[in-house]
Structure 1
Amino acid sequence: MNENKYCQLREAVDNVVAIDAHCHNLVSKNSSVPFLSSFTLAEGAALADTPFTLPFKRSIRDAAELYKVNASLSAIEKYRNSSTLESYGTKCFDASKLSAIFIDDGFVLDKMLDWKEHLLFVPQVGRILRIEFLALKILNQDLQQSSKQTLEEFTDLFLTQLRSTAKDVVCLKSIVAYLSGLEVNTHVTKKAAEKGLQEELQGGIPLQIIFNKNLIDYIFTLSLGVAKELNLPMQIHTGLGQKLLDLTKANPLLLRGVLEDSRFSENRFVLLHASYPFSREASYLSSVYPQVYLDFGSVDSKLSIHGMKSAIKQLFELGPLNKIMYSSDGFAFPESYYFASKNARDVIYSVLSDACDDGDLTISEAIEAVPAIFRQNALNFYDFSKVIKSG
C-alpha cells in the first residue's frame, strides 16, 4: 500500500472524534471481574487460554505502548495496581478520542459504575435500555408484590415501566439471540405467553434468566410496539457472544419474520457486532431493508487483524456506508474501549484504502466515509436530546 498516497485518509481516520454507540459499564478496581476479560469473550476455565490468542498478544503490546511499560501482562497489571481508575481510565479514553458513549447497563457486573459516572471520562453519555433486564426485574420484584401474577399484570407493569424509562434512553436493546434465538415469532399468542410466564414462575424466584421462548418472543414484540410509538431504535445482539449463546440461532437472517412484519416496518434495527461470523448476511439485510443498520462493535477488539478486516470488508460488500456505525462493545475495563478505538481506526483505514485500490471508492469518497462511520451516522440516527453532558 502506498502510504503517501493515502496520507489524508490516514489523517482523517486518526483524528476523527468518534461516537461509541454501544458499550457497557466500567467496574471499580476491586471488582471480581477478571482483567483477562478485556481480551476475550471466553469465561471461566477458558480464560486460561486467552494469553495464547492473537488478540491478546496484540492488545498487550498496545496497552504497553499506551502506558509506557514492558509488553507483558504482569507489567500492565502492576501499572494499573499502582494507579487509580480515574488516572489510567482517563489515559485510555483520551487516546480513544470519543465525544460520546452509549451504555447498555443491563449487563450486570460486580461493582460496576453507574452509567452517569462515566461522564468522568467522556463529554457525553447516553443510556441503552436492555428490555430483558427490565423484564427480569419485573418478574423478580414487582410482579411478586402484586396480588395477580398473570400475563395481564406483567404486561401492564412492563409497558408502564418501559414507556417511563424509555423516555430517557437513546435506544432499546435486546439479547433475544442469547435466550431463544433470532427467529422471533411476533404473532405469539397471549395464551402461549401466559403458559410460558407460569412455567418461569414455577421454577422459583429469583430468576437468573428467562428461558421460555413464547414469553421471550412476547416481551420482544411488546417492546417493538413501544419502540415504534416512541421512535426509538432497537439494537439487537447478533453473531458472536459468550458461551451461553447458541451461535446457530444468532444469524441475522433469522430476523426475516420480524423484518417482514408490516406492523414494525417503520421500526429501526441495529445489528450489533457485525453479526460475525454472519457479516455478509448482515450486509445483505442492510442493503435490502431500509430499517436495518449495522454496528461493528466487539469485532474491532476480539478478533485478529485479519479477522477484523475480513468482517468489515464483508459489511462493505453490500452495506450502505451511511448505515454502518462504530462502537467498541467495551466493558469493565477502560482498556477495552481503547483497544476497539485503535483497532477500528487501523482496520477502517486499511479497508477503505483497499476499496480505493480496487476502484470501488475514490480517495475523496473514502475520506468522506470516515466521519460518517465513526460519528455522523450515529448523530443522524440517535436522538442526542436524551444524552447527558458533563459540566
Structure 2
Amino acid sequence: MELLVDHHCHGVVRRDLDRATFESWLTEADGPAPGTTLFDSALGEALREHCFPLLGAATPAEYLGRRAELGHAEVARRLLRAAGLAAVLVDTGFAPEPLTAPAELGALAGAASYEVVRLEAVAEGLAPGVTASGFGAAVRDALATAAARPATVAFKSVAAYRVGLALRPERPSVRDVAVAAGRWLAGGGGRLADETLHRFLAFAAVDTGLPVQFHTGLGDRDVDLRACDPLLLAPWLRAVELAGVPVLLLHCYPYQRNAGYLAQVFPAVHLDLGLATHNVGARAGAVLAEALELCPYGKFLYSSDGFALPELHFLGAALFRAAAGADLARRTTENAHRVYPAVGGRGPGR
C-alpha cells in the first residue's frame, strides 16, 4: 500500500462520544435533521463499508458500542494506522474543543507530523496587545517566527469563510492596513472579517516563501458557497505569480473543474479534493475525474481534511486510493514532497 502524505488535516477529539455527538462531527451542518441519521447518506454508506469491519461491527449501534468499548485513543490509533500515512500536515487554527496536537496525531498514525499555521488565528491572537499602526509589523514578525519553526511547512487562509475569495490584486499599503486594523480593533478584535486585512495576510504569507493553502468550496454553514469559487482568486493569483510560491486550493467541491483550470494555467497552483472525498462516498471517483480533466497530475495532492473523528482521516485515504489507483496515489506523495520540501523521512512528529 502506497503511504500517503495527508497535506491538510486536523487533530482528533480526546474523548469518547455518544451517538449524537459522533453524528454531529460527520456533517458540515450542525447535526442531522430530526428523524434522519448521517448513517443514511453517501458518507454513512462509506462508513459501513470501510470503517465498520475495522471495529468488527455490522450496524451503527454495534459500531458505536465498539467505539465506546475500545475508547477514543485506541479507535484513533486503529483508524489512523489503517489510513496508511507517511506524514500529516495539521491545521491547528480551529479547535472548538481540545484536539490532538500535530505530534500526537502523528504518533497515533505512525507518521511524521508538521504544522499548517492559520493566518487568521495569528492575527486574532495579536489583537489584545497591538495598536492599529503596529498591527502590520506585528503580523509580519509573527509569521516570520512561525515560518522559522522546524515543524511549520505552510500557512493557510480561511478568507473564504470570512469575506469570500474575491481578494483584490493590489497589495495593501501600510496606511491601508493600519486603517483597516483600526476599524477591526475598535470593534473589539475577535473574528477577523475584513477584505483588506485578509488580503494583507495572504500577501504577507507569500512573502515568507512558504506554501499558502486556501480553503475553497464547501464548508460548514458559516460559508457563503457562492463566494468560495476558486476562480474568484484569479486576479490575486496573477498578482503573486512572480513570487513562485505554491498556492494550494483545498477541497474545491463543487468547483473542482474550475480549480483544475487554475492549476493548468497558473504554474504555482495545486489542488486537492480534501473533505469532498469522504462526503461524496462512492462518488469520489467521479469528482476526482472532473478535477483531473484539466489539472496536470503533477499538481494534484492528497488530503483528507479529517477533523475530530479519525474515521474521516481513514475514509479520505481509503476512498481516495480506490478512486485514484496506485499510480496517482504514488504521484500525490511525490507531489507533496516537491511542494513541501521539508516533508519526508523522520520529521518533527516522529
TM-score normalized with structure 1 length: 0.82
Q: 1:313 aligns with which of 264, 289, 300?
A: 289
Question: Partners of 1:310 and 1:38 in 2: how far apart?
Answer: 25
The correspondence for 1:298, drawn from 275, 283, 287, is 275
User: What number of residue pairs does the alignment pair up?
Assistant: 342
Partner deviation per Cα, 1:266-310 (whole Å, 9 max, x = no partner): 12101111x11111111111111111111121121011422x222
Residue ranges of structure 2 left out of the alignment (5+ in a row) = none
> Contact 1:31–1:111 (CA<8 Å) still a contact in 2?
no
Q: 1:199 aligns with which of 167, 178, 183?
A: 183
Looking at structure 1, the residues matched to 240 and 337 of structure 2 have their Cα atoms a distance apart, in angstroms, of: 27
**Residue 211 of structure 1 aligns to which amino acid in structure 2?**
A
Q: Which deviations, in whole Å up to 9, do the C-alpha atoms of 1:99-125 show, x marking residues without a partner? A: 111100101131212222223212310
Is this contact kept in 1: 2:16–2:71, CA < 8 A? no
Q: CA deviation at 1:37?
A: 4.0
SS of equivalent residue, structure 1 residue 21:
strand
Aligned to 1:120: 107
Moved beyond 6 Å, runs of 4+: none
1:174 aligns with 2:174: no
Aligned match for 1:102, one of 71, 89, 92: 89
Q: Does 1:261 align with 2:247?
A: no
| CA–CA distance in structure 2, aligned partners of residues 328 and 241 of structure 1 | 14
Of residues 219, 228, 250, the one that matches 1:250 is: 228
Task: In structure 1, give the amino acid aligned to 2:267.
Answer: P
Question: Are 1:38 and 1:335, in contact at CA under 8 Å, matched by a contact in 2?
Answer: no
Asked if 1:160 corresponds to 2:160, the answer is no
How far apart, in 2, do the equivalents of 1:87 and 1:117 lie?
13
Identity of aligned residues (%): 25
CA distance in 1, matches of 2:173, 2:137: 16
In structure 2, the residue matched to 1:383 is 341
Alpha-carbon distance between aligned partners in 2 of 1:120 and 1:250, rounded to the nearest angstrom: 34
Q: CA deviation at 1:160?
A: 0.8
Q: Distance in 2 between matches of 1:80 and 1:87?
A: 9
* CA distance in structure 2 between the partners assigned to 1:45 and 1:60 by the alignment: 17
Contact 1:259 1:265 in 2 (8 A): no
Q: 2:124 aligns with which of 123, 133, 136?
A: 136
Where 1:50 maps in the other structure, the secondary structure is coil
Q: Establish whether residue 239 from structure 1 lines up as the match of residue 217 from structure 2.
A: yes
Q: CA deviation at 1:173?
A: 0.8
Instruction: Give the match's secondary structure for 2:335.
Output: helix
| Structure 1 unmatched ranges of 5 or more | 1-14, 144-148, 350-366
SS at match of 1:219: helix
Identify if the C-alpha distance between structure 1 residues 283 and 304 changes in structure 2 by more than 3 Å, giving closer, same or farther.
same
Give the structure 2 partner of residue 56 of structure 1. 44
Task: Write the distance in 1 (CA, Å) between the matches of 2:217 and 2:343.
Answer: 30
More helix by share: 1
C-alpha contact (below 8 Å) 1:61/1:71 kept by paired residues: no
Amino acid in the other structure paired with 1:250: C
Larger Rg: 1
Matches within 5 A, 1:345-384: 345-349=321-325, 368-373=327-332, 375-384=333-342
2:21 alignment counterpart: 34
Q: CA deviation at 1:186?
A: 3.7
Give distance in 1, aligned partners of 2:207 and 2:186: 28
Could you tell me how far 1:34 is from its partner in structure 2?
Answer: 2.4
CA distance in 2, matches of 1:329, 1:257: 26
* In 1: Cα distance, 2:77 partner to 2:120 partner: 32
Structure 2 length normalisation: TM-score?
0.91
